[in-house]
Amino acid sequence: MTTQSFNQSNSELEQTSEMKYGERLIAQGELITFPNPRIGRRYDVNISLPEFTCKCPFSGYPDFATIYLSYIPNEKVVELKSLKLYINSFRDRYISHEESINQILDDFVAACDPLEVTVKGDFAPRGNVHTVIEVRHQRHA
């Protein structure tokens, strides 16, 4: 294969608008759960997701954060790969720091119905401003 035909093949591939398999999985971004193996036992699950990205709804600039999710399961536990894909679904979304963390909490509660959950977003400084958003939910008996 010559360099010219290789470049032509790459150019043709770039022109196709078909989503890659990873992009399709991220776009679906659904939180999947499985049964808690120890219902009735209170235990903490602590997860950190250091590659969260979204876009500022005002400037369009990218925002970067580490998301910390801590919860006490009830009847369901979140499947980690689905959580990763769900978090990656924010990368092209125009959403504020505050709304993104609140949305993650709402979606997590809807999927898992935990006894308790805290979601914290520690956003990388931009323009000399460092933001940390923390939201909590506790299940009512």
- Residues contributing to the annotated binding site for substrate: 78-80, 97-98
- Residue 72: its H or E element: strand 62-72
Q: Are 63 and 98 in contact (CB under 8 A)?
A: no
Binding site residue list: 78-80, 97-98
- Measured CA to CA, the distance from residue 71 to residue 63 in angstroms comes to 25
Q: How far apart are CA 37 and CA 72, in angstroms?
A: 13
CA 52 to chain centre: 6
Please compute, for residue 4, the number of CA atoms within 13 A of its CA located in the half-sphere on the CB side. 0
Please list the active-site residues.
56, 63
C-beta atoms surrounding 85 within 10 Å = 20
